[in-house]
Amino acid sequence: MNFESDIENSYRIKQSTFCKYVLITPNKEVELNFPQMLELRRKINGLTTFQALNDIINNENFVLLFVADRQHLIYLDIPQLLKLKKEIELFFLDFNPVLV
């Protein structure tokens, strides 16, 4: 029943300190610094191209991904992968300073 809401609530990124971020997954919370965030973004962008998604679907249907300088291994199926991509996009969308 809660499959979608589980995905929606997991794979979130929050900022903990000035240069520390936390990736919240269903199993654990992974601390990341900014270069590790950039690397995660690069990997997720690489895994979510049309071709890469097709390859995943036609093979194992999931990916195992090292994060935080290979200190953590996370399992992602396609909906989780897409959710994480969306979350990272939102995180990096926040680039431009806001005029208040």
Binding site for other proteins (CB under 8 A): 15, 18-19, 34-35, 38-39, 41-42, 45, 91-92, 94-100
| Per-residue DSSP letter, 11 | S
For 56, other C-beta atoms within 10 Å of its C-beta total: 18
Q: Least distance (Å) from other proteins to the CB of residue 39?
A: 6
Task: State the Cα–Cα distance between residues 16 and 55, nearest whole angstrom.
Answer: 35
Place of tokens 């794979």: 11
Q: Least distance (Å) from other proteins to the CB of residue 56?
A: 20
4 vs 29, which CB is nearer to other proteins? 29
